[in-house]
Structure 1
Amino acid sequence: MSRFFKSVFGKATLATTAVVGGGIIYLDFIKPPVSPNLQNSYKPLRKKLETPPSREQLLEKVKATPKFDVIVVGGGATGTGTAVDAATRGLNVCLLEKNDFASGTSSKSTKMAHGGVRYLEKAIFQLSKAQLDLVIEALNERGNMLRTAPHLCSVLPIMIPVYKWWQVPYFFIGCKMYDWFAGHQNLRNSTVFSREMTSAIAPMMDDSNLKATCVYHDGTFNDARMNATLAITAIDNGATVLNYMEVLQLLKEDGKLIGVRAKNRETGEEFNIKATATVNATGPFADKLLEMDEDPLGLPPKKPEAPRMVVPSSGVHVVLPEYYCPRDMGLLDPSTADGRVMFFLPWQGKVLAGTTDTPLKSVPENPIPLEEEIQDILKELQKYIVFPVEREDVLSAWSGIRPLVRDPATVPKGTDPTAGSTQGLVRSHLITKSPTGLLTISGGKWTTYREMAQETVDTLVKDYNFDGRNKQLLPCQTNKIILAGGEDYSKNYSARLIHEYKIPLKLAKHLSHNYGSRSALILELYTQSDFNKLPITLAATKNFHPSESEASSENNLSYQSFDEPFTIAELKYSLKYEYIRTPADFLARRTRLAFLNARQALTAVDGVVEIMKQEFNWDDETTAKLTKEAKEYIGQMGISPKRFDVEQFTVQ
């Protein structure tokens, strides 16, 4: 019997050897090699682009349109996402934003496209299907963000330090489940790093009691630039999108909503804009529009009321120098003193740390980070860092309002919005329709903006009659389209810019990762004159007016004389293509200078104002007003008084 098995086993071994050997011979000697995937010829860089409609042309379009299909109130992530979705289906859309795009919560996120590992933990231990559904939805949309905006979104490994051996399998299994629920959209497989490997990657971490680190992967992105890109993409698809347009009144006829009365905040001119449907996408300010909707005349209440839909909570983030974190890997603190999760992430060449969770009774127009909240974040970070964490190292800090929501129909008036903790609330979204026809979308998070927009437009198509054209409208297109700047983009785009324009790597990476395939438009301006190569801090310097700069062959100044890669060319591009109206629009949102380094941003205000004044023909009063507003806004972004004298930049 044993001889029989030996014979069978021997024959099987020979057969296996023959198959493997034959396979090797075929693959190495017979099968023709695959042509190398070398890009010897790319599509030409986009050096020209048709100028988009100006603000004046968009305002004229508002006047000339008797009735839009949809008015979207709110220019944050959800509002601009809804405008893109509706416009690409064939609806005539008008979006109105009181301030600038992403001027509120949408520019103050943790900059992560993620499913939420903490939600997954709650889903498992609390047996919560709602939490699990949110994780799966967000993981799905994470993949969509990386695909539709490849220049703005990228994959980021995140370490979870483990200090007890029994926790290593606990956290690793959690990371693998996170991978598993992502399905085919999983970014990369989770893994475990030893203490030695962790120390090599993150020498700034204290490894005294470290056992290992579990590493999982999520997405990171530039939120305000993503928001501006959505607004531009909506305009490219025919939408009328306007910032600095304040809704003063909801227009009603026979108790039904027929449009809005809005004011151009720059000129004071008012417009009656009519539409079949009106969408409330104002995020944390959703209650204000709902209060107007309850008034028979559509006017805001004379006395402010406590929010009923939004449960406001302030989240503070700080930005620190790059040496506080590995360049290409983040850190997650799974158990802070107050039970929250805290992130320490590389972002735009700096380190982003946050966030806190402070319940509020009302929603402020411009929330300001409290010193105690900044200190809380620094104390948490000190648990992991081998050198002293200094308050003077904080480059910038800001506070954003989370739009956590509940159905306003279930909340009596006068209910205290701070009652209870916000940690237990699911970060899902809610769509409600009022008796007048106002459709409100609120809640959710940045990662799920696209799905929120899709559900909103699906509801519009289902519940509103767009002159009998509903069946002619296209299905949702936002899973397919690539946002402005993502077309023909590749991850080595910065190398192409270096070859073409002979620019430093830091500038090439900054432009390619924030403007994608539109970077060459900025570099065409950059190469036009020495003046355009200057850092924005020097734009107002008396010795460097355009005529003088262009005439001087000895002027070798470039952006390298400034610590950040923001040039006059980028400002001129933003003026032409991205609808900036104030210095803060450029310094805080089209670029992220105020969020990355508020001190440097303050020094750049005068230069930005000088160029914008020439572009818009501002009088002295307007110039002084906007300069003061920009410096006050940036001056409240957590700058340490020990390191920088904010007072010297205050306009009297």
Structure 2
Amino acid sequence: MASFFKSAIFKASAASGAVLGGTIIYLDFIKTPNTPSSNGPYKPLLKSLPTPPSRSQLVENLKNTKNFDVLIIGGGAVGSGTAVDAATRGLNVCLLERTDFASGTSSKSTKMAHGGVRYLEKAIFGLSKAQLDLVIEALNERGNMLRTAPHLCTILPIMIPVYKWWQVPYFFAGCKMYDWFAGYQNLRSSTVFSKEMSSAIAPMIDCSNLKATCVYHDGSFNDARMNATLAITAVENGATVLNYFNVEQLLKDSNGKLIGVKAKDLETNEIYTIKATAVVNATGPFADTILDMDEDPQGLPPKISHPPRMVVPSSGVHVVLPEFYGPKDIGLLDPSTSDGRVMFFLPWQGKILAGTTDSALKSVPENPIPTEAEIQEILKELQKYLVFPVHREDVLSAWSGIRPLVRDPKNIPKGADLTGATEGIVRSHIITKTDSDLVTISGGKWTTYREMAQETVDKLVKEFNFNGSVKPCQTNQLILIGGEDFTTNYAARLIHEYRIPLKLANHLASNYGSRASLILELYNQSDYNKLPVTLAGQKDFRPNQSTVTSENLLDYESFDEPFTVAELKYSLQYEYARTPIDFLARRTRLAFLNAREALNAIDGVVEIMKNEFKWNDATTSKMKADAQDYIGKMGVSPERFAVEA
């Protein structure tokens, strides 16, 4: 019997060796090698592109369209995503945003495309199928974001510090389950780092009592730029997308059914009547405002504001710190803060992003402001992991966003005091339709925006009669603008073509993708376009100069933040930036990365925009004051700007 097993083992080993040897011979000697990249499989860099329809052209289209198929109120992640979905199916779409794309919650996320490890833990120990479904849904959509916007979304490893030996297998098992539920879209396999390896990767972390770190992988992305990209992708697919348009009234026919809206162009104060077959409320935290208007027979806003019934408002605060507060290429997850939540400390845009808090609110503020207590709470949690003191003056920026937790408003009595109530809250999203045919989509999270948009348009196609055939959903395969022909070595191609330093190349490639070369074409047109926006408004540097006349030629390399005049001009031509805040906070992330630098840049940005848009002195002063007020409240000074809790 023993000899039989030895013989079987020998034969199996020989067979395996033969297979391995044959594979090596095939791969090394028979298979035709791949064509080297240098032989030209890449398309030439984009040197020019027709500008999209101007805002005035879009307004003209608004005037000339008798009836849109779909009218979307709200230009955040879900509203813009719905516009892309509907437009690519062949529907005639109009989107109206009261301020700017991603001006609210959609620019104030934790910048993660993720399934949610904490939801997985709740699903397992709470035996919650709903939580598990949410994790699997988000993991699938995480893969979609990485595929359709490869320039804006990247894979980020995240380490979980473990301080007790028995917790190592516990956390590692959780990480492996996270991998398993991602299925074929799993990013990379989870692993365990020793104390020594963890210390080498993150030398700023206090490893004195550390046993190991468990490492899993998620996605990291630039939320506001993703939102603007969606809006412009919708325009490129035929949608009429307008920021700074406020819906003043919902229009109803004699049967009480919605037939459109009256909206004001906030730049000209002109009122427009816009007709549509279907109206979608995608206003996020402000969904209750539109629902209140829908309940009014005339479609007007209520004279007295009511407590929100659909949205359960709570604020989440994040802070940004210098890069030395964390490792460059790996994040940190605090699995249990002092109040039982999780907190992230993540590398983002060359800085460290830390958050988030969770504070219940009675109403939804127009522009939530972080309190000093919330900032200190985050710094206190971070201090547990660092070998050096955390200083308040190191906070470069801080902001507050409203969490999109929702419940079905049909189950909530009107006028009920719901402060602190959590009954009926769903962690996913809700799509409702009122008696007047207003469709509302709310809830969810950034990662699932595409699926939320798809379900919304599916409902519209099912519930409304659109003339002509409607295509099936296209967004699972659609590559968003900037993602076309983008490769991970795009920064190297920019360096080779334009002879620019690595920092600028990485910045442009990771924010604009294959359209980064358009900015560099502007960059090469004049020395003035190479200036940091911080310098653009100074008297030594004039917009009409073709060369910089300063004694010392100053460009972005003299400054920490690589935001130039060329980037501002690109955003004005291609991305519908209308105010200094649009550029400083959302088209670029300067205000979110370094509020002090953003304050210094206001004069330069205002100077250029004033010349572009022909602002008068009153408008120029207002734009400057608004930008100073907005950015000044982003945590730059606890004495002057923070609102005490």
Task: Give the TM-score category using the shorter length.
Answer: over 0.9
1:508 correspondence with 2:469: no
Kindly state the Cα deviation for residue 546 of structure 1 after the two structures are TM-superposed: 3.4
Secondary structure in 2 matching 1:319: strand
Number of the residue aligned with 2:583:
586
State how far apart, in whole Å, the 1-side matches of 2:504 and 2:496 are: 13
Partner Cα distance (1:202, 1:178) in 2: 24
What secondary structure is seen at the aligned counterpart in 1 of 2:313?
strand
| Structure-2 residue corresponding to 1:428 | 428
Which residue number corresponds to residue 265 of structure 2? 264
The equivalent residue for 2:561 is 564
Instruction: Find the aligned partners of 2:4 and 2:177 in 1 and give their Cα distance.
Output: 46
Distance in 1, Cα, partners of 2:126 & 2:18: 52
Which residue is 1:353 aligned to? 354
Structure 2 Cα separation of the partners of residues 28 and 508 of structure 1? 36
Cα displacement (A) at 1:419 = 2.2
Residues 314-333 of structure 1: CA deviation (Å, up to 9, x unaligned): 00000000011110000000
Match runs of 1:450-489 below 5 Å: 450-467=450-467, 469=468, 472-489=469-486
Q: TM-score, normalised by structure 1?
A: 0.95
Counterparts in 2 of 1:182-221, with a 5 A limit?
A: 182-221=182-221
Hey, what does 2:420 align to over in structure 1? 419
Q: Residues 92 and 378 of structure 1: is their aligned pair in 2 closer, same or farther, counting only changes over 3 Å?
A: same
Unpaired segments ≥5 residues, structure 1: 648-652
Q: Which residue of 2 aligns with 1:373?
A: 374
Match of 2:18 in 1: 19
Q: Does 1:494 align with 2:495?
A: no
Question: Structure 2 length normalisation: TM-score?
Answer: 0.96
CA displacement 1:104-146 (0-9 Å, x = unmatched) = 0000000000000000000011110110000000000000000
Cα distance in 2, alignment partners of residues 13 and 474 from structure 1: 54
The match for 2:406 is: 405
Does residue 343 (structure 1) correspond to residue 344 (structure 2)? The answer is: yes
The aligned residue for residue 85 of structure 1 is 85
**In 2, distance between residues paired with 1:324 and 1:619?**
44
SS at match of 1:546: coil
Kept in 2: contact 1:549–1:555 (CA 8 A): no
Shift of the alpha carbon at 1:29?
Answer: 6.6
1:525 aligns with 2:522: yes
Q: What CA distance in whole angstroms lies between the structure 2 residues aligned with 1:269 and 1:17?
A: 77
In structure 2, do the counterparts of structure 1 residues 3 and 610 end up closer, same or farther at CA, with 3 Å as the change threshold? closer
1:299 matched to 2:296? The reply is no
Question: Could you tell me how far apart the structure 2 residues matched to 1:251 and 1:355 are?
Answer: 40
What is aligned with 2:253? 253
Aligned to 1:650: none
Amino acid across the alignment from 2:542: H
Cα distance in 2 for residues equivalent to 1:169 and 1:536: 50
Per the alignment, residue 441 of structure 2 pairs with 441
Residues 419 and 3 of structure 1, relative CA distance in 2, 3 Å threshold: closer
AA matched with 1:194: S
Q: Contact conserved, 2:532 with 2:555, CA < 8 A, in 1?
A: yes
1:616 counterpart = 2:600: no
The alpha-carbon deviation at position 473 of structure 1 amounts to 1.1
- C-alpha deviation, 1:421, in angstroms: 5.5
- 1:249-291: per-residue Cα shift (whole Å, max 9, x none)? 0001120100000000111000000000000000000000000
Contact preservation (8 Å) 1:598, 1:639 = yes
Aligned length, in residue pairs: 640
Aligned equivalents of 1:572 and 1:389: distance in 2?
38
In the alignment, the residues of structure 1 paired with residue 520 and residue 551 of structure 2 have an alpha-carbon distance, to the nearest angstrom, of 21
Q: Is the 8 A contact 1:154 1:221 kept in 2?
A: yes
The answer to which of 280-289 and 13-22 deviates more is 13-22
Structure 2: how far apart are the matches of 1:509 and 1:292? 46
Q: Residue 541 of structure 1 corresponds to which residue in structure 2?
A: 538
How far apart, in 2, do the equivalents of 1:413 and 1:37 lie? 67
Deviations 1:288-325 (A, max 9, x none): 00000000000010000000000001000000000111
1:600 aligns to 2:597 (yes or no) = yes
User: For residues 612 and 24 of structure 1, do their structure 2 counterparts lie closer, same or farther at Cα, with a shift above 3 Å needed?
Assistant: closer
1:484 is paired with a residue of what secondary structure?
coil
- For residues 307-322 of structure 1, the aligned pairs below 5 Å read 307-322=308-323
Measured in 2, the distance between the counterparts of 1:302 and 1:171 equals 52
Q: Distance in 1 between matches of 2:9 and 2:194?
A: 42
Q: Is the 8 A contact 1:361 1:416 kept in 2?
A: no
- Is the CA contact (8 Å cut-off) linking 1:369 and 1:399 kept in structure 2? yes
Q: Do 2:535 and 2:604's aligned partners in 1 also have CA atoms closer than 8 Å?
A: yes
Question: Identity of paired residues, percent?
Answer: 73
Structure 1 distance, partners of 2:98, 2:56, is 17
Give the AA of the match of 1:418.
T
Distance 1:10 1:512 in 2: 54
Partner SS for 1:550: coil
Secondary structure, in 3 states, of the residue corresponding to 1:542?
Answer: coil
Shift of 1:548: 4.1
Report Cα offsets for 1:484-519 as digits up to 9, x if no partner.
Answer: 100000011011111111111111111000000000
The alpha-carbon deviation at position 543 of structure 1 amounts to: 0.9
Q: Aligned with 1:629: secondary structure?
A: helix
Quote the Cα distance in structure 1 between the aligned partners of 2:230 and 2:606: 26
Deviation at 1:418, TM superposition (A): 2.8
Q: Deviations over 1:540-562 (max 9, x none)?
A: 11111134452749662211122
Question: Does the 8 A contact of 2:245 with 2:265 survive in 1?
Answer: yes
Q: In the TM superposition, what whole-angstrom CA distance separates every residue of 1:532-591 from its partner, at most 9, and x where no partner exists?
A: 000001111111113445274966221112210000000000110010111000000000
Q: CA deviation at 1:14?
A: 7.8
- In 1: Cα distance, 2:458 partner to 2:148 partner: 20
User: What CA distance in whole angstroms lies between the structure 1 residues aligned with 2:589 and 2:565?
Assistant: 15
Q: Contact between 1:46 and 1:520, CA under 8 Å: does it hold in 2?
A: yes
The answer for the alignment partner of 1:55 in structure 2 is 55
| Cα shift at 1:51 | 1.1
426-435 or 555-564, larger mean C-alpha shift: 555-564
Deviation at 1:406, TM superposition (A): 0.2
SS in 2 for 1:227: helix
Instruction: Report if aligned partners of 1:114, 1:139 keep a CA contact under 8 Å in 2.
Output: yes
CA offsets, 1:459-484, max 9 Å, x none?
000000113x2xx2110000011001
Q: 1:40: Cα distance to partner?
A: 3.0
Distance 1:112 1:154 in 2: 10
The letter of the residue matching 2:298 is: L
| CA 354–13 in structure 1, closer or farther in 2 if over 3 Å, else same | closer
- 3-state SS, counterpart of residue 634 of structure 2: coil
In structure 2, how many angstroms separate the alpha carbons of the residues matched to 1:262 and 1:433? 22
SS in 2 for 1:537: coil
The equivalent residue for 1:240 is 240
For the 8 Å contact 1:70–1:275, the answer to whether it is kept is yes
1:629 aligns with 626
> Aligned partners of 2:598, 2:60: CA distance in 1, in Å?
34
User: Is residue 114–residue 447 contact of structure 1 (8 Å, CA) maintained in 2?
Assistant: yes
Cα gap change, 1:421/1:340 in structure 2, threshold over 3 Å: closer, same or farther?
A: farther
Cα deviation for residue 389 of structure 1 reads 0.5
Give per-residue Cα distances to partners, 1:341-363, cap 9 Å, x unaligned: 10000000000000000010100
Aligned residues of 1:312 and 1:417 also touching (Cα < 8 A): no
Rate the CA distance shift 1:21–1:147 in 2: closer, same or farther, 3 A: closer
- What is the Cα deviation at residue 621 of structure 1? 0.4
Counterpart of 1:155? 155
Answer whether contact 2:533 2:601 (CA < 8 A) is retained. yes
Shift, 1:31, TM fit: 2.4
- Contact 2:633–2:641 (CA under 8 A) maintained in structure 1: no
TM-superposed CA distance for 1:456, in Å, is: 0.2
